[in-house]
Amino acid sequence: MITARMDSQAEALLSIRGLTIALDDRPGTSPVVQNLTFDVREGECVGIVGESGSGKSLSSLALLNMLPKGVHISSGSIIAAGKDLTKANERELRDVRGSLVSMVFQDPGAALNPSRTVGKLLADVLHAHSDLSRESIRERSIAVLNDVGFPDPESRLKSFPFQLSGGLRQRVAIAMALINRPRILVADEPTTSLDVSVQKGILQLIRRRTTEDRIGCVFVSHDLGVIAEVADRVVIMYSGQVVEEGPVANVLTNPRHPYTRGLIASAPNMTSTLANPLRPIPGSLPSVGRTPNGCAFQDRCPDKSKGQCAPQDPSWTTDSKNPSHRWLCHDSSNSRAKASL
Ligand SMILES: Nc1ncnc2c1ncn2[C@@H]1O[C@H](COP(=O)(O)OP(=O)(O)OP(=O)(O)O)[C@@H](O)[C@H]1O
Ligand SMILES: [Mg+2]
């Protein structure tokens, strides 16, 4: 399932430090993403997981400086190949998008222009970054379609997106993201709209391309089971903040933050059986801009009585046996291994 390949010596391809995203029209309210900090190394896939509204999409869009109207980066840095993307101008960002950092979106149908054939969609992306001949474009397109497991690519270059299944459309979207050989791939819920067997194929494809092409991958999902299939490390987000992070195997077998334990207990493909049904986390996320002082999870935490959850902010605790596993909780008993979920 998981190939943990933490190579702490490898240089980070992507370094996010203190990234904070605020609402434009509500100064003084809590940020929608706060102090996001993590690295992605060569050949490594980092999963970002959290409930709906926890800030996953805004965090991933910020990596390409593509935030929607209404929010802005208020502080922090995003260093990719030595460049701080938060300081890049529009022209520099156009060069970066698709070549240094590429994105795959959730809905393959919506992401592909319906009036362009597969061949033209791929050629458009290649043209944006290079001046190749028609023949080279065709060769590169067929090669990248082969890489993403697209059957019979030569004869499908003339197909329109509506002539393809959801799984094949998502393979075209991934081929478009990879064709200029980016160093970093950001995938925001790329398999959510696909059925389980097609999803598995796409996860294997992203895993294989990450390892073989030595790219850095950021993979966003609300589903811990999906993250367990594809990622080496996981960042758990709650209400715009990271509350736990570490190698996937450690976090899933020895979760320390009560929110992570709640996510595992409520993940359909991880723990549920007839005898041990899903246990959804009671309550809901704080409203936008209204994250409470102290621990963001305090109102829903089953362990609230054990810690001083407010008003002080919690501090990070690091696993003494595995310093890359850390969590943000006031409850000191969480620093011991939990025997059961
Ligand atoms: N353009 C915007 N203006 C104001 N608030 C926004 C904007 N976009 C998102 N938000 C708010 O920011 C929070 C985080 O949104 P985001 O889309 O990143 O969540 P998410 O974790 O990706 O959720 P989902 O799993 O549903 O995709 C949400 O509360 C959302 O309502
Ligand atoms: Mg989202």
Which pLDDT belongs to residue 73?
Answer: 96
Which pLDDT belongs to residue 340?
Answer: 36
Local confidence band at 52 (pLDDT 50, 70, 90 cut-offs): very high
The ligand placed nearest to the CA atom of residue 48 is: 1
Cβ atoms of 326 and 302 closer than 8 Å: no
The tokens describing 195, both together, are 């059925």
Which pLDDT belongs to residue 333?
Answer: 65
Cβ atoms of 334 and 258 closer than 8 Å: yes
Kind plus residue range of the DSSP H or E element containing 201: helix 196-213
Cβ atoms of 293 and 311 closer than 8 Å: yes
Rounded Cα distance, 39 and 216, in Å:
9
Is 336 or 153 the better-scoring residue by pLDDT? 153
Cβ atoms of 123 and 199 closer than 8 Å: no
CA of 106, closest atom in ligand 1: 27
**Least reliable range by pLDDT among 99-103, 128-132, 225-229, 272-276:** 272-276
User: 4 forms bridges with which residues in the sheet?
Assistant: none
Q: Which amino acid is at 46?
A: V
Local confidence band at 289 (pLDDT 50, 70, 90 cut-offs): confident
User: 276 forms bridges with which residues in the sheet?
Assistant: none
Which pLDDT belongs to residue 62?
Answer: 95
CB burial readout 115-149, b (16+ within 10 A) else e: eebbbebbbebbeebeeeeeeebbebbbebbebbb
Cβ atoms of 179 and 147 closer than 8 Å: no
Q: Which amino acid is at 159?
A: S
Which pLDDT belongs to residue 58?
Answer: 96
Question: Does any ligand 1 atom lie closer than 6 A to the CB of residue 57?
Answer: yes
3-class secondary structure, 63: helix
By alpha-carbon position, which residue is closest to atom 22 of ligand 1?
57
23, 24, 30, 32: residue to mutate for ligand 1 pocket, most atoms within 8 A of CB? 32
Is the per-residue pLDDT at 272 higher than 90? no
pTM of the model: 0.90
Across the range 16-43, mean pLDDT stands at 94
In 3-state terms the chain splits into helix, strand, coil percentages (rounded to 5) of 35, 25, 40
Distances (CA, A) of 54 to 17, 31, 32, 81, 236: 18, 11, 8, 28, 9
pLDDT in tens, 249-270: 999 999 999 999 999 988 776 6
Is 107 or 180 the better-scoring residue by pLDDT? 180
Question: Does any ligand 1 atom lie closer than 6 A to the CB of residue 22?
Answer: no
Contacts of 138 (CB under 8 A, 6+ apart): 119, 157
Is the per-residue pLDDT at 337 higher than 60? no
Mean of the per-residue pLDDT values for the chain?
88
DSSP of 209-225: HHHHHT-EEEEEES-HH
Question: Does any ligand 1 atom lie closer than 6 A to the CB of residue 291?
Answer: no
CA of 237, closest atom in ligand 1: 21
Across the range 147-170, mean pLDDT stands at 92
Question: Does any ligand 1 atom lie closer than 6 A to the CB of residue 52?
Answer: yes
Distance 23 CA to ligand 1 centre (A): 11
The tokens describing 275, both together, are 């005898």
Across the range 196-217, mean pLDDT stands at 91
Rounded Cα distance, 297 and 285, in Å:
8
pLDDT in tens, 57-112: 999 999 998 999 999 999 999 999 888 999 999 999 988 888 899 999 877 767 89
CA of 68, closest atom in ligand 1: 1
Which pLDDT belongs to residue 3?
Answer: 39
Which pLDDT belongs to residue 57?
Answer: 94
Cβ atoms of 233 and 322 closer than 8 Å: no
Is the per-residue pLDDT at 339 higher than 50? no
**Least reliable range by pLDDT among 35-49, 96-110, 168-182, 272-286:** 272-286
Q: Which amino acid is at 202?
A: I
CA 130 to chain centroid, in Å, comes to 28
Which pLDDT belongs to residue 10?
Answer: 62
Q: Which amino acid is at 47?
A: G
Local confidence band at 303 (pLDDT 50, 70, 90 cut-offs): confident
